[in-house]
Amino acid sequence: MSDNSIRTDLFSPTKLGEIELANRIVMAPLTRSRVNREGVPNELNVTYYVQRASAGLIISEATNISAQGRGYAMTPGIWTEEQVAAWKKVTDAVHIAGGTMVMQLWHVGRCSHVDLQPNREPPVAPSAIKADGNIYTENGMQEVSMPRALETDEIPDIIEQYRHAAEYAKRAGFDGVEIHSANNYLLEQFIRDSTNHRTDQYGGSIENRVRLVLEVVEAVTGVWGDGRVGIRLSPVTTEVGNTPLDSDVMATYGYLIQQLNQFKLAYLHFVEGTTRKDRVIPEGIDLDKLRSLFEGAYIGNNDYNLEMAISRRAKGKIDAVAFGRPFISNPDLVDRLRYNIELTSVNNDAYYGNGAKGYTDWPKANS
């Protein structure tokens, strides 16, 4: 094979903070529900990630920081020694294959069910506001449970869950971590005034509503140092839970992003549009203006194709581009994009569960 004639540096090495990438193609975090009930990865997960190690950066599937943070069955965790040891097998194998991998740290907040919570307790959230939709549990799909509002004196424990998870991710051999502050999970539930009706120091004003995110970032960067922590934001998505937008997206996320600059993060990872649906941006919101406030590297995400990635990279609007679903059925996605090889399509049946089927059985173009 020879390089295509398109002029782009998407396939050239780069750095995001202190994280070195072989190319600018990022594998987005993809929940696949292929671990056991204890959230421990297995050899199938090792194979899956190694198959995709040609990505410039692999962002792991969203990984629960605690038993309380869990919102979907058969999703991995990073709070026990057994989980650390299992993830270490994944990262070791990815590194041997020449890959680079960070872990996405996840607390779902209100997007859970009592069957998934310790002692069947209600999920926690900034406010007792129920999300819409259903959750995948060991007993099948069930309606999301009504959450309870976190007490102010419980907030330090949430921050400690993130710090502990960051420490365990480091022990598990990852090259960095990504804080999941998107898709209307716990941290974004605090950010938005649609889901945060608190009256303490974590609610009300923009400064108060972003306080928890900044405290989490401070704790996680305290473990990892400069340039190895990224963050994912999704200012205009209503997913998950059919969640209303913040009443002033530009002011809220603009303030947050400017405050994030003090932490010298590796990158900002944006969901551009509505997760899994479209790239429509509501009137009066300018995501490019928001991302321009960030002083570090920027990863664009959401329904990109190669042409869009090349165009936005040429205009300086992205430093790297994240692909999600295409990586499911194209483990060699980087080569397929680079050499203009037709992509294999995927359907919903392959997304979750089913063991190796639809997970590690996708052929490479040259196999």
CA dihedral 217, 221, 222, 228 (to 10 degrees): 170
Percent of the chain with pLDDT over 70: 98
- Sequence-separated (6 or more) residues with CB below 8 Å from residue 124: 68, 109, 110, 147, 148, 149, 150, 154, 158, 186
What is the H or E stretch that residue 181 is in? strand 177-181
Tokens encoding 18:
């202190």
Please tell me the pTM assigned to this model: 0.96
pLDDT over 90 (residue 276): no
Q: In this structure, are residues 106 and 77 in contact, taking their beta carbons and an 8 Å threshold?
A: no
pLDDT in tens, 29-40: 999 999 999 999
Contacts of 307 (CB under 8 A, 6+ apart): none
**φ, ψ for residue 79 (rounded to 5)?**
-130, 0
CB neighbour list of residue 366: distance below 8 Å, 6 or more residues apart: 1, 332, 335
Across the range 47-75, mean pLDDT stands at: 98
55: nearest Cα among 314, 306, 327 = 327
Tokens of 133: 């939709």
At residue 20 the predicted structure's pLDDT band, cuts being 50, 70 and 90, is very high
**Rounded distance, CA 134 to CA 51, Å?**
31
Phi, psi torsion values for 52, nearest 5 degrees: -110, 20
pLDDT in tens, 296-330: 999 999 999 999 999 999 999 999 999 999 999 99
pLDDT tens for residues 154-184? 999 999 999 999 999 999 999 999 999 999 9
Q: What residue ranges define each of the domains in the chain, with the CATH number in brackets?
A: 4-350 (3.20.20.70)
pLDDT band, residue 4 (cuts 50/70/90) = very low
Q: Which of 240, 246, 242, 244 is nearest to 213 (CA)?
A: 246
> Is 351 in the active site?
no
The pLDDT score that the predictor gives to residue 226 is 95
| 162, 168, 185, 359: the active-site residue | 185
The two three-digit tokens of residue 32, written as one number: 């696949």
Segment 243-255, tens digit of pLDDT: 999 999 999 999 9
pLDDT (0 to 100) of residue 354 = 81
Give the pLDDT band of residue 270 (cuts 50, 70, 90): very high
Tens digit of each residue's pLDDT (9 = 90 or more) over 80-131 = 999 999 999 999 999 999 999 999 999 999 999 999 999 999 999 999 999 9
Write the CB contacts of 148 (distance below 8 Å, at least 6 apart in sequence). 122, 123, 124, 125, 128
CA separation, residue 238 to residues 194, 230, 242, 272, 281 (Å): 11, 22, 5, 12, 11
Among 15, 47, 54, 12, smallest CA distance to 32 is for: 47
pLDDT of residue 277: 74
132 close to 206: Cβ distance less than 8 angstroms: no
Per-residue pLDDT, 281: 92
Give the span between the Cα atoms of 216 and 263, in whole angstroms. 11
